[in-house]
Amino acid sequence: MSLLEIRDLNVRYAIAGRVKAAVAGLANRYIDAVIDVSFEVAAGSTLAMVGESGSGKSTLARAIVGLTPFASGSIVFDGSNPFATGPHPSRAYHRDVAMMFQDPVSSLSPRRTVEALVGEPFVIHGLGNRNLGAEVRRLLALVGLPADFAGRYPHQLSGGQARRVGVARAIALNPKLIIADEPTAGLDVSVQGEILNLLARLQAELGLTYIVITHNLAVVRHASDRTAIMYMGRIVEAGPTAEIFAAALHPYTAALIAAQPNPDPAHRRSGPVLTGEVTSLRNRPRGCEFHPRCARAADDCRELVPAAIGRGPGHTVRCHHPLA
């Protein structure tokens, strides 16, 4: 059963006010950051969102937790619509869905102690009257930090320790879904592994569901059940992680996988190579957004936006000429 179900979600940012748009003659005063995104996350599973910078994956995450209002589409969480009453989700939804931000240290308020930071969700949700100190120590132990860290400030923590504090805060209210934006960014490789193992252990113990946003394919392969690849605001391919790594259907996915560094010096690159930069969101190409960088682009790619087509159970691709 799916815990989170997203249908045709669109998020847009205004780049100019009404007056400025009229004066400058802008036909479209919006930038579309997320377009027609639909996906489901099954309870207890991990979905990886992959894409280059600017592909809209962080905007998507912000829209799901209610930090950025979405223009259209629907979000159904655990059978109900948390945005039924407007752009601000219900309090229960805030408790059920936690978000972890990219930078481990600067996502912690700099003048609060670890104890205050980890205890904050309880205070915000009016649960501060139970024994907060004991609760914080329990959470710190759960993420593998000694209890005497409670008195420290964020700048006294290493990246990995700060990330653990962030995890402790995220799981404080027993959420059902955790959205982790680049959980391993900026950490040493050994610490990255520890954090991924910690997340996996907590998932097993607490029955958590994760959406992991990353551009690190090693993390994707290691940690996720399903993968969705985003390009310029659209999900271009989604499917079971193993299947995507074994047989990618979209040329972009194949190029991303081929671009991974391989430690074997005898290894020679095979598969398509990505050339050029991501096109600006202000000048969205006609047709398939990927066609200016795609080796397989044909005439229809320049004219028609490809629809999502199903290829096997739970595997979809938006491409006129998929690889298989």
Partner 1 sequence: MAPVGPGFFARMARRLRGDPLGALGLVLVLLLVFCGLFAPWITPFDPFKLNVPDKFQAPNLVHLFGTDNLGRDIFSRVIAGSRIALWVGVSTIATALAIGLVLGLVAGYGPRWLDNLLLLLFDSIYSFPTVILGLTVVTLLGASVATLMFVVIVIQTPAYARLTRTATLSIKSSEYIQAIESLGASKLRIILIHLLPNVVGPLLIVASMDIPSVVSLEAGLTYLGMGIPPPAPSWGRILQEGYSVIQVAWWIVVAGGIPLILTTLGFTFLGESLRDNLDPKLRRIL
Q: Which residues would be at the binding site for partner 1 (CB under 8 A)?
A: 62, 65-67, 89, 91, 94-95, 98-103, 106-112, 120-121, 124-125, 153, 166, 169
Instruction: Compute the least distance from the CB of residue 210 to partner 1, in Å.
Output: 15
Nearer to partner 1, 32 or 182 (CB): 182
Angstrom CA distances, 260 to 226, 249, 271, stand at: 19, 17, 11
Q: Amino acid identity, residue 110?
A: P
Nearer to partner 1, 171 or 288 (CB): 171
Nearer to partner 1, 127 or 258 (CB): 127
Instruction: Compute the least distance from the CB of residue 195 to partner 1, in Å.
Output: 17
Instruction: Compute the least distance from the CB of residue 303 to partner 1, in Å.
Output: 39
Nearer to partner 1, 127 or 308 (CB): 127
Instruction: Compute the least distance from the CB of residue 49 to partner 1, in Å.
Output: 17
Nearer to partner 1, 89 or 159 (CB): 89
Instruction: Compute the least distance from the CB of residue 113 to partner 1, in Å.
Output: 10
Instruction: Compute the least distance from the CB of residue 207 to partner 1, in Å.
Output: 21
Nearest to 210 by CA among 55, 4, 1: 4
Nearer to partner 1, 107 or 192 (CB): 107
Q: Amino acid identity, residue 204?
A: A
